[in-house]
Amino acid sequence: MTTFPFHHDIRARLLQEFRNGRVVQSCVFVGPHGVGKLTLARWYAQALVCESPTKDKPCGSCAACRAVAADAHPDVAVAARAEGQETVSIEAWRILQDRFTRTPLRAARSVMIVPDCERLSRAAQHACLKTLEEPRPASVLLLTASSPALLLATMRSRLTQIRLRPVPSPVLQQALEEADAALTPQDADALVRYARGIPGALLHEGRIDAGCALRAARQERIAALRGAPLWRVQKALREMIGKESAHASVEVIAGACMRDRACGIAERRLLALLSRALTRAVNKDLAIDTLSIALAH
Ligand SMILES: [Zn+2]
């Protein structure tokens, strides 16, 4: 069971090795921000400590899998930065390492996850390197990095790099359709373009949330069009009509043109009328011109 249906190839490879008794002792998941590195590291930690008797690990629903998801498993530690801190200090690292190197309490292994490991302080990176140089059979170290070039060269050379690439559009499209059966094809297309291969852009609280992502996508486009000359706004609207729902297009243009003005009753009425006109494709060009000129004044 998973709420993150991406990177199947990497997961299949890791599981195959796990079933063959070859657990990855230490690795770094590398890829752009939001591509799913930390989610994949957590998923692998779940697979390593899952208590389900089935072969399909992680099950995602046993007590151990749920504990990992809630950051509450005694043998899985996540090296989170303290609030307001840019790096993980050597003191914080030592506390985690102590937990990591002791005998596991519940599972067969201890797992330490270090998100954005390039943000470890230099001293913590040196301590991490020492851990890598002295691997323990019952301990697994999973790191993530968006900029692996910032790591100590000696650390990089000791780590297996697992590269996560942007997710292909058809995979994102399918995941959206499965997550929200009511999503229109136009909105699904708009979300795939907005995500640009980064599934994190579609998530809210760890799950795909199309409604939330649509609002964020519209805000992004409103911000991009704000203050733009009228001809650019009209061009953007023409491009949007046909690709997306008329209502969504009107909302973006209205947000961009009205800037910080409150939307009055007359304007809202105008928007509703034009939205209906565009939906029915009645004199579309006239509707676009009227809308953009009316809103710009
Ligand atoms: Zn499980």
CA 140 to ligand 1 center in whole angstroms: 18
Q: Are residues 175 and 243 in the same domain?
A: yes
Number of domains observed in the structure of the chain = 2
In a domain, 3, yes or no: no
Rounded to the nearest 5 percent, the helix, strand and coil shares of the chain are: 55, 10, 35
Q: Are residues 14 and 150 in the same domain?
A: yes
CA 109 to ligand 1 center in whole angstroms: 15
Q: Are residues 15 and 156 in the same domain?
A: yes
Q: Report which of 53, 57, 54 is spatially closest to residue 14, judged by C-alpha positions.
A: 57
- The answer on pLDDT for 233 being more than 80 is no
Contacts of 87 (CB under 8 A, 6+ apart): 81, 119, 120, 121, 124
Q: Mark which of 163, 192, 225 sits at the end of a domain.
A: 163
CA 61 to ligand 1 center in whole angstroms: 5
CA distance 219 to 239: 17
Q: Report which of 99, 93, 133, 130 is spatially closest to residue 114, judged by C-alpha positions.
A: 93
Q: Are residues 107 and 36 in the same domain?
A: yes
Give me the long-range contacts of 12-15 (CB less than 8 A, separation at least 24). 14/44, 14/47, 15/47, 15/57
Q: Are residues 108 and 221 in the same domain?
A: no
Average pLDDT, the chain: 84
- The answer on pLDDT for 61 being more than 90 is yes
CA torsion, ordered 17, 22, 25, 28, to nearest 10 deg? -20
CA distance 220 to 71: 32
| pLDDT tens digits, one per residue of 72-128 | 999 999 987 777 777 888 888 888 888 888 889 999 999 999 999 998 888 999 999
CA 1 to ligand 1 center in whole angstroms: 9
CA 15 to ligand 1 center in whole angstroms: 14
In a domain, 1, yes or no: no
* % of the chain with per-residue pLDDT over 90: 49
CA 6 to ligand 1 center in whole angstroms: 19
- The answer on pLDDT for 282 being more than 70 is no
Cβ contact 191:214 at 8 Å: yes
CA 211 to ligand 1 center in whole angstroms: 30
Please count the other Cβ atoms lying within 10 Å of the Cβ belonging to residue 207: 11
In a domain, 2, yes or no: no
Q: 247: pLDDT confidence band, cut at 50, 70 and 90?
A: low
Mean pLDDT score, 218-240: 75
3-state secondary structure of 83: coil
Q: 153: pLDDT confidence band, cut at 50, 70 and 90?
A: very high
pLDDT value of position 272: 66
CA distance 45 to 18: 11
Cβ contact 117:27 at 8 Å: no
Contacts of 157 (CB under 8 A, 6+ apart): none
Q: Are residues 36 and 151 in the same domain?
A: yes
pLDDT value of position 94: 87
Pair of tokens at residue 280: 């029915």
Q: 279: pLDDT confidence band, cut at 50, 70 and 90?
A: low
Q: Are residues 132 and 177 in the same domain?
A: no
Contacts of 34 (CB under 8 A, 6+ apart): 198, 199, 200, 201
Give the residue carrying structure tokens 């323990």.
136
pLDDT value of position 245: 64
pLDDT value of position 265: 58
CA 69 to ligand 1 center in whole angstroms: 10
Q: Are residues 22 and 136 in the same domain?
A: yes
CA 27 to ligand 1 center in whole angstroms: 22
CA 37 to ligand 1 center in whole angstroms: 20
Cβ contact 50:56 at 8 Å: no
Cβ contact 93:100 at 8 Å: no
- The answer on pLDDT for 297 being more than 60 is no
In a domain, 284, yes or no: yes
Mean pLDDT score, 130-142: 90
Q: 32: pLDDT confidence band, cut at 50, 70 and 90?
A: very high
Q: Are residues 20 and 153 in the same domain?
A: yes
CA 119 to ligand 1 center in whole angstroms: 31
- The answer on pLDDT for 258 being more than 70 is no
CA distance 119 to 124: 9
CA 29 to ligand 1 center in whole angstroms: 22
Q: Mark which of 124, 139, 163 sits at the end of a domain.
A: 163
- Whichever domain contains 51, its CATH number is 3.40.50.300
CA 167 to ligand 1 center in whole angstroms: 26
In a domain, 261, yes or no: yes
Q: Are residues 52 and 151 in the same domain?
A: yes
- The answer on pLDDT for 51 being more than 70 is yes
Q: Are residues 246 and 216 in the same domain?
A: yes
Helices (H), 111-226: 122-133, 153-158, 169-179, 185-195, 210-225
pLDDT value of position 260: 46
Q: Mark which of 163, 184, 213 sits at the end of a domain.
A: 163
CA 294 to ligand 1 center in whole angstroms: 58
What's the length of the chain? 297
In a domain, 251, yes or no: yes
Q: 1: pLDDT confidence band, cut at 50, 70 and 90?
A: very low
pLDDT value of position 111: 95
Q: Are residues 159 and 187 in the same domain?
A: no
CA 67 to ligand 1 center in whole angstroms: 9
CA 106 to ligand 1 center in whole angstroms: 13
Mean pLDDT score, 49-64: 92
CA 51 to ligand 1 center in whole angstroms: 5
Instruction: Say which range, 26-30, 152-156, 259-263, has the weakest mean pLDDT.
Output: 259-263
Cβ contact 202:3 at 8 Å: no
Question: 33 is in which domain, residue-wise?
Answer: 8-163
pLDDT value of position 276: 65
In a domain, 122, yes or no: yes
In a domain, 242, yes or no: yes
3-state secondary structure of 37: helix
